[in-house]
Amino acid sequence: MAPRPLSAGRPVFIYGSLMYESVLKVLLGRIPKARPALLQGYVRRRIKGERFPGLSPVSGADDGSVVRGLVMDDLTAREAAIFDEFEDDEYDKEPVTAILVSGVECDNVLAWGQTPPKPTDAQLEGNSITALAYIWTDLDKLDDVNWLPE
């Protein structure tokens, strides 16, 4: 596996287990600043036999697939390394273009991830940001079922 791009000082798009405040507190000892975001052209699927998701680009024509997540842009080098360790070798870290969603209160981070996946047109017109995301590499292990936080 090639070395992952450094995340420190760069925005990171999170979409699964890392959206849980309890997970962030255990891993980092704090809750980093998070902004609601959408990622078009990707799906967040359950990984067979696991409780966590994998993010995968949609192949072929754009079918309107959108993943709700969060952009964190204040990770330290140490915290970025912890994320890299947490997300094992079956993920590649790649740049993606996320859409920041304004007007959404993000006090309950989990609630943002649980909302219905179809965004409004107004949400899709937000500012774009380049962020790093952990992309699942073993597509055969992805289930046909979308993953939602519980």
Catalytically active residues, by annotation: 87
For residue 46, what are its two tokens? 């359950």
Give the Cα separation of 52 and 46 in Å (integer). 6
For residue 43, what are its two tokens? 């799906």
Confirm if 43 and 56 have CB atoms less than 8 A apart: yes
Place of tokens 């993943």: 67
End-to-end CA distance of the chain: 32
Nearest-CA neighbor of 133 among 20, 43, 64?
A: 43
Q: What residues pair up with 97 in beta bridges, in sequence order?
A: 130
Distances (CA, A) of 23 to 6, 46, 69, 129: 21, 18, 15, 25
